[in-house]
């Protein structure tokens, strides 16, 4: 019998009594099996993890844990763990999978020499892009210190439309930055969300909401995730949500069932717009009527909005969305009536920025939640602007029962962070002259040079995607390969699977990673990858840095980045290691601190050249955003004696305080600061002191966006200063509309919609977080492969059987997979789980594993670029929202048909099996059946 088949004692048996003499202990830290950041208790025996459960004392999850969270032990034991630094074997080709083990010293020497040379000559030739990490405050700081503009995290291919669309409208957004107040809501409308990043808390809140008698309506092409327990599911065609919102706005205005007082006082609805220039020229005193301003006609924003939606009847929206017109009209009525007639007041006195004292806070108990289903379309920015305006008409912004902000939001519209706007800010041996990412206020803030050429490799903040607040990671490899806008030298990728599920056009992008120029040199000369697991991406690396898991390192979920704030005040949290790093794994944070010093980046180095921080743990304690600012990565227990909150000199022992307090710091605001924060005098004064915001000015909701109008005027040649290139003028004029509008996704203009009649989308399952868990023995038993889910009527019409093998084709590619009938999808849409399918051998799975023989990836059918007229003659342009650069994942159109009976019963395309990496687990099959045994 093979040794690995012999029964071995389990790592733990929860029913076993404590073993005499064994050392049992419980350590607290923060989960990272998804981005929700629940508090967990890790139970150890003799220093080894026995099991993980939820921390009952943690404010976010109150003891709850999901399938992913409790499977963290299998992440520790995964045979896919990278455990040693590796370099591509000299003489082997990239993609061959030939690696040799090296020391960390060689890693640091290689990177210091290479990056030092780049920094001394042309820092933009180094690009750092990261995936779903929770340390962008550090990675962004590091890139800025290095001096490269080429930095971003995953947001551009995730949900930047949600962030930018909401922030440019109301000064805050969903998830970390705000959410639905289900404690006080009566009606909850969820749109374009299946499973999200606020997993356990939202499930708990929905459960309580429903038990209290609230009504939950889910609008989504697919009924999965949260929608499964909605009182009503309203199927909608993908990419049409904006049309629905426009019709709802129209109905509310027409019926008068909206919060007129809120709209007048708290938004820019009364601002007067010059009818010729579209510029705001003053503030009027009513929502209606034409004025004369300096001899020119001007009208209030509200009138322009009403005019904009005048033709957006329920019948108009019905033809686009597929929702019956009477249902749209009834939904608008229900929203308006619930907001206005089921309103109540909480007796919480507060004072607004005009000094007016209010005896209470008025509730508008209609809450919304929306996410990627709205965002991942090329029309998503304007769709989300429309949603923000719908919410504002209902008066549900930072009020009981509606949307509520979470610190550090709300922020000024837009927040006061700008990207670099000239080549002068990108200089050798000098930190970048601005933050790599930010929020432009006008064309003057764009990252373009004198000829309009993009400063960034991904063309973020260029005329192609001016408000790309999170960058465009999905175009990095294609642009670097093509040398457009320029060639780079070194690409450092941290925990992002850019050779598989995080990229579109998968096969070609993999080829680009391997491609050489005429001289035989790789077009992307050097690729370094830091990851904890052997993903599809690692095989394209020249250098591999083995990262730690979340149980092995310090982390900070910082107020400078993405904290876990609650509605009632700022909250940040930490991770504290519970076990030692496996093998030679090293946290990427430590790598950055070490490299920062070796490269003599100012923040990480004393003026005499000596090292400033021992490591990340020390950095978190002592770093301040500016010398003496008192603001650092953590807000808890600051000051020499730990008595200060949010602002104060570094406390030498914050880790102990966090450890004593469930790894969480919660600053509960006084009740008078908990609502109406855009206009709350006391809150805004506090926010300034805490470093969240600038001067305590009211943050008026922008129904009409002057920022958008400034770009439109430039496109029309009616604004001095920077002008867009000729081929982009029409595109900018069309999409930079200061009022929301609905237009079909850009991809439709390049698609024969009759040939490809179906929308194809993906959803993230509850039991897996993107590709992170394909190597997890427990979670693989829930999802080892996926199907294309098709409405039975659609499937039968295409001659496709339930469970049968089918071909799915877009104009960009084709794939073979299995079909599953589902009534829970509207007939014009097909869908599948995201990132279940794997390339053979990746994640150290056996070459015949379900994930690569039956699991598939929809990404093969999606193009990262489109041949649109906007691109210029004979060129392509990013498949993204023209405003923000958000990847248009959900715009692809497909057709389906049966596979021939003679065809192999396995997915296609198939790629050569990835070789096993040195240092990963030896027996791959063990991962399927016996992982977790000693
Ligand atoms: S919801 Fe996410 S953070 Fe919370 S327990 Fe599950 S995996 Fe962990």
Contact in structure between 473 and 509 (CB atoms under 8 Å): no
The residue ranking higher by pLDDT, 134 or 328, is 328
Give the atom of ligand 1 at the shortest distance from the alpha carbon of 37: 3
42 alpha carbon – ligand 1 mean position (Å) = 13
State which ligand 1 atom lies nearest to the alpha carbon of 61: 4
Confidence check: pLDDT of 605 > 70: yes
- Give the CA distances from residue 449 to residues 117, 255, 433, 472, 669, in Å, rounded to whole numbers and listed in that order: 24, 49, 14, 18, 44
CA 34 / ligand 1 centre spacing (Å): 5
φ/ψ of residue 545, rounded to 5:
-110, 115
Pair of tokens at residue 864 = 């990262």
Ligand 1 atom at minimum distance from 40 CA: 5
422 pLDDT band, cuts 50/70/90, is: very high
Calpha distance 281→292 (Å, rounded): 10
Tell me the per-residue pLDDT of 858-900, one tens digit each, with 9 for 90 and over: 999 999 999 998 888 889 999 999 999 999 999 999 999 999 9
Confidence bin at 829 (pLDDT 50/70/90): very high
Is the pLDDT at 109 greater than 60, yes or no? Answer: yes
* Tens digit of each residue's pLDDT (9 = 90 or more) over 332-363: 999 999 999 999 999 999 999 999 999 999 99
**How many A from CA of 244 to the centre of ligand 1?**
33
Which atom of ligand 1 lies closest to the CA of 33? 7
State the sign of the Cα–Cα–Cα–Cα dihedral 179, 185, 190, 194.
Answer: positive
Ligand 1 atom showing the smallest separation from residue 70 Cα:
5
User: Is 90 exceeded by the pLDDT of residue 3?
Assistant: no
The pocket around ligand 1, CB under 6 angstroms, is made up of 31, 33-34, 36-38, 61, 65-66, 68-69, 199-200
Phi, psi of 622 (to 5 degrees): -105, -15
CA–centroid distance, residue 35 to ligand 1 (Å): 7
- Asked whether residue 133 carries a pLDDT value surpassing 90, the answer given is no
Strands (E), 220-300: 232-234, 271-274, 280-283, 291-293, 296-300
Q: Using the predicted structure, report yes or no on whether residue 933 has a pLDDT greater than 70.
A: no
**How is residue 524 written in tokens?**
């992307």
Q: Please, which pLDDT band fits residue 770 given cuts at 50, 70 and 90? A: confident
**Three-state DSSP class for residue 538:** helix
Distances (CA, A) of 647 to 625, 639, 650: 11, 8, 9
**pLDDT digits 0-9 by tens, 723-747:** 999 999 999 999 999 999 999 999 9
Cβ–Cβ contacts within 10 Å for residue 583, how many? 14
Compute the distance from residue 767 Cα to the ligand 1 centre, in Å.
10
Spatial separation of the C-alpha atoms in residues 113 and 406, rounded to whole Å:
43
pLDDT band of 282, cuts 50, 70, 90: very high
Atom of ligand 1 nearest to the CA of 30: 3
Q: Which of 15-19, 215-219, 329-333, 388-392 has the lowest mean pLDDT?
A: 15-19
Atom number, ligand 1, closest to the C-alpha of residue 66 = 6
Q: Which two three-digit tokens encode residue 361?
A: 């806070």
- Of the pLDDT bands very low, low, confident and very high (cuts 50, 70, 90), residue 836 is very high
List pLDDT tens digits, range 436-486. Answer: 999 999 999 999 999 999 999 999 999 999 999 999 999 999 999 999 999
Q: How far apart are CA 590 and CA 554, in angstroms?
A: 10
* Angstrom distance (rounded) from CA 532 to CA 544: 10
Q: What is d(CA 417, CA 439) in angstroms, rounded to the nearest whole number?
A: 6
* Residue written as token pair 């025996």: 45
Q: If you measure from the C-alpha of residue 64 to the centroid of ligand 1, how many angstroms do you get, rounded to a whole number?
A: 9
Tokens of 713: 């005027």
The yes-or-no verdict on residue 922 having pLDDT over 90 is no
Chain segment 179-211, per-residue pLDDT in tens: 999 999 999 999 998 877 788 999 999 999 999
Band (1; pLDDT cuts 50, 70, 90): very low
Q: Whose Cα sits closest to atom 4 in ligand 1?
A: 38
Residue 925 predicted with pLDDT over 60: no
- Residue 677: asked if its preceding bond is cis (omega within 30°), the reply is no
Is residue 386 predicted with pLDDT exceeding 80? Answer: yes
Supply the pLDDT for residue 132. Answer: 81
DSSP state of 746: G
Ligand 1 pocket mutation pick from 28, 29, 30, 34 by most atoms within 8 angstroms of CB: 34
- Angle 861-387-713 from CA coordinates, rounded to 5°: 85
Give the dihedral of Cα atoms 811, 155, 532, 6; nearest 10 deg: -60
526-531/788-790 β-pairing: unpaired
Atom of ligand 1 nearest to the CA of 54: 5
Number of residues assigned to the chain: 934
- What pLDDT does 15 receive? 66
CA of 274 to the centre of ligand 1 (A): 50
DSSP annotation of 88 reads E
Cα 561 to ligand 1 centre (Å): 19
Mutate to test the pocket of ligand 1, among 36, 176, 663 (most ligand atoms within 8 A of CB): 36
Pairing of strands 178-180, 403-405: antiparallel
Mutation choice for ligand 1 from 61, 226, 766, 769, CB with most ligand atoms inside 8 A: 61
Confidence check: pLDDT of 134 > 80: no
Q: What is the mean pLDDT of residues 77-100?
A: 94
> Which pLDDT value is given to residue 87?
98
CA distances from 668 to 30, 568, 646 (A): 20, 6, 11
Question: Whole-structure pTM over 0.75, yes or no?
Answer: yes
Asked whether the beta carbons of 605 and 597 are under 8 A apart, the reply is yes
Yes or no: say if 587 and 554 are a contact pair by the CB < 8 Å rule.
Answer: yes
- The answer on pLDDT for 934 being more than 60 is no
Q: Atom of ligand 1 at shortest distance to CA of 60?
A: 4
Distance CA 604, CA 612 (A): 5
158-179 average pLDDT score: 95
Query: Mean pLDDT in the chain?
Result: 94
User: Which string of DSSP letters, residue by residue, matches 588-635?
Assistant: HHHHHHHHHHHTT-GGGB-TTS-BS-SSHHHHHHH--SSTT----S--
Strand (E) or helix (H) holding 43: strand 39-45
Mean pLDDT of 771-788: 92
pLDDT at 410: 98
**Distance from the alpha carbon of residue 435 to the mean position of ligand 1, in angstroms:** 31
Give the residue, by CA position, lying nearest to ligand 1 atom 2. 34
384-396 mean pLDDT: 98
Q: For the chain, what percent of residues have pLDDT higher than 90?
A: 90
């Amino acid at each position: 019998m093979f040794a690995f088949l012999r029964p071995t004692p389990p790592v733990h048996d929860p029913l076993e009594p404590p073993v005499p003499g064994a050392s049992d202990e419980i350590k607290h830290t923060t989960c990272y099996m998804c981005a929700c950041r629940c508090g967990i208790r890790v139970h150890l025996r003799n220093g080894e993890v026995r099991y993980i459960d939820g921390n009952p004392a943690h404010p976010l999850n109150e003891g709850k844990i999901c399938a992913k969270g409790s499977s963290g032990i299998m992440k520790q034991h995964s045979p896919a763990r990278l455990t040693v630094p590796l370099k591509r074997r000299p003489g082997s080709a990239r993609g061959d999978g030939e690696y040799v083990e090296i020391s960390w010293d060689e890693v640091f020497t290689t990177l210091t020499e290479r990056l030092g040379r780049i920094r001394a000559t042309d820092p933009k030739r180094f690009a750092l892009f990261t995936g779903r990490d929770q340390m962008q405050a550090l990675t962004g700081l590091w890139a800025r210190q290095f001096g490269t503009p080429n930095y971003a995290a995953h947001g551009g291919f995730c949900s930047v439309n949600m962030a930018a669309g909401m922030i440019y409208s109301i000064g805050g957004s969903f998830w970390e930055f705000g959410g639905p107040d289900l404690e006080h809501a009566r009606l909850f409308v969820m749109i374009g969300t299946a499973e999200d990043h606020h997993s356990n808390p939202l499930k708990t809140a929905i459960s309580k909401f429903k038990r209290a008698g609230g009504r939950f309506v889910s609008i989504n092409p697919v009924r999965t995730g949260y929608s499964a327990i909605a009182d009503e599911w309203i199927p909608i065609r993908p990419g049409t949500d904006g049309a629905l919102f426009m019709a709802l706005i129209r109905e509310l205005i027409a019926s008068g069932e909206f919060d007129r007082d809120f709209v007048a006082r708290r938004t820019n609805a009364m601002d007067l717009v010059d009818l010729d220039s579209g510029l705001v020229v003053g503030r009027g005193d009513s929502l209606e009527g034409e004025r004369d301003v300096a001899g020119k006609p001007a009208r209030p924003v509200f009138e322009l909005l009403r005019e904009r939606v005048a033709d957006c009847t329920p019948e108009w929206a019905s033809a686009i969305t597929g929702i019956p017109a009477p249902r749209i009209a009834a939904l608008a009525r229900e929203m308006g009536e619930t907001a206005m007639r089921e309103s109540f007041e909480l007796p919480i006195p507060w004072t607004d920025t005009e000094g007016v004292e209010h005896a209470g806070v008025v509730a508008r108990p209609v809450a919304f939640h929306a996410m990627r289903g709205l965002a991942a379309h090329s029309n998503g920015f304007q769709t989300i602007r429309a949603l923000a305006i719908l919410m504002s008409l209902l008066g549900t912004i930072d009020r009981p029962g509606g949307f509520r902000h979470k610190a550090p939001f709300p922020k000024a519209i837009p927040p006061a962070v700008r990207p670099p706007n000239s080549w002068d800010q990108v200089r050798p041996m000098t930190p970048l002259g601005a933050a790599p990412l930010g929020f432009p206020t006008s064309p003057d803030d764009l990252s373009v040079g004198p000829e309009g050429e993009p400063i960034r490799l991904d063309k973020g903040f260029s005329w192609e995607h001016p408000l790309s607040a999170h960058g465009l990671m999905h175009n990095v490899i294609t642009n670097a390969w093509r040398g457009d806008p320029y060639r780079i030298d070194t690409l450092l990728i941290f925990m992002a699977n850019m050779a598989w599920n995080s990229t579109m056009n998968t096969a070609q992008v993999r080829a680009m990673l391997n491609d050489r120029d005429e001289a035989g040199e790789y077009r992307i000369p050097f690729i370094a990858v830091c990851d904890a697991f052997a993903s599809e991406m690692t095989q394209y690396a020249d250098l591999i840095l083995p990262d730690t898991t979340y149980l092995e390192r310090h982390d900070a979920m910082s107020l400078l980045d993405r904290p876990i704030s609650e509605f009632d005040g700022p909250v940040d949290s930490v991770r504290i290691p519970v076990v030692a790093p496996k093998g030679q794994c090293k946290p990427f944070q430590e790598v950055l601190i070490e490299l920062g010093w070796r490269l003599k980046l100012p923040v990480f180095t004393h003026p005499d050249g000596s090292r400033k921080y021992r490591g990340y743990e020390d950095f978190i304690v002592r770093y301040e955003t500016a010398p003496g600012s008192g603001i650092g990565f953590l807000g808890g227990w600051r000051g020499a004696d730990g008595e200060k909150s949010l602002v104060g000199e570094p406390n030498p022992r914050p880790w102990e305080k966090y450890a004593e307090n469930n790894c969480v710091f919660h600053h509960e605001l006084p009740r008078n600061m908990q609502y109406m924060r855009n206009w709350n005098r006391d809150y805004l004064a506090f926010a300034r002191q805490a470093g969240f915001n600038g001067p305590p000015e009211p943050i008026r909701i922008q129904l009409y966006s002057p920022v958008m109008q400034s770009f439109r005027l430039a496109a029309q040649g009616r604004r001095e200063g920077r002008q867009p290139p000729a081929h982009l003028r029409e595109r900018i004029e069309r999409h930079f509309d200061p009022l929301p509008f609905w237009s079909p996704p850009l991809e439709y203009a390049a698609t024969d919609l009759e040939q490809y009649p179906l929308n194809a989308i993906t959803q993230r399952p509850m039991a897996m977080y993107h590709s992170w868990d394909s190597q997890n023995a427990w979670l693989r038993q829930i999802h080892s492969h996926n199907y294309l889910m098709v409405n039975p009527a659609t499937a039968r019409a295409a001659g496709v059987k339930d469970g049968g093998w089918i071909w799915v084709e877009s104009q960009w590619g084709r794939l073979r997979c299995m079909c599953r009938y589902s009534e829970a999808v509207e007939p014009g849409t097909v869908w599948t789980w995201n990132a279940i399918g794997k390339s053979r051998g990746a994640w150290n799975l056996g070459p015949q594993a379900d994930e690569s023989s039956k699991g598939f990836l929809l990404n093969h059918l999606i193009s990262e670029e489109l041949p649109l007229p906007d691109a210029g003659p004979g060129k392509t342009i990013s498949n993204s929202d023209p405003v923000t650069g958000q990847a248009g994942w959900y715009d692809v159109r497909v057709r389906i048909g049966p596979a021939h009976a003679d065809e192999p019963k396995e997915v296609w395309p198939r790629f050569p099996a990835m070789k096993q990496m040195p240092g990963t687990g030896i027996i791959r099959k063990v991962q399927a059946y016996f992982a977790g045994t000693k």
